[in-house]
Amino acid sequence: MRLPQPFAPNDEPDRRDVEVSEPLTAATGTKAIVTTMARSVGIVGSVDTARSFLKINQPDGFDCPGCAWPEPPPGERKTAEFCENGMKAVAEEATDRRADRARGRRSSTARSSAVSD
């Protein structure tokens, strides 16, 4: 179903337009995993990438900071129980890259506010 743009509350779909199905069994595809793994390896290295990804949404690990994917009971979890957004969030949080004082001196608040996001 295609909604008119811009979407407005009075254009919301009717309940009859919503399809309900069984939950999906995968949150992402192989290409997304490979791309995100490569990005993470570039940020934190291969060892830290493997260590952190093996702990996402695991009973002895931590909850994914980037997704609302429902977690199955501990005995039913897969090794990769996360999506590419969770992988990206973990890689970015695990980085040891920091902006130092020299970087702060080179970038004034006025200059930073002039640059778009």
Per-residue pLDDT at 9: 58
Per-residue pLDDT at 67: 67
Task: Write down the pTM of the prediction.
Answer: 0.54
Residue 51: pLDDT above 70? yes
CA 78 to each of CA 11, 18, 59, 71: distance values in angstroms, whole numbers, following the listed order: 39, 29, 11, 10
Q: Before 13, cis peptide (omega within 30)? A: no
Q: Span 51-63, mean pLDDT?
A: 86
Contacts of 75 (CB under 8 A, 6+ apart): none
Residue 6: pLDDT above 60? no
Instruction: Report pLDDT digits (tens) over 78-106.
Output: 887 777 788 888 888 888 777 778 877 77
Residue 35: pLDDT above 80? yes
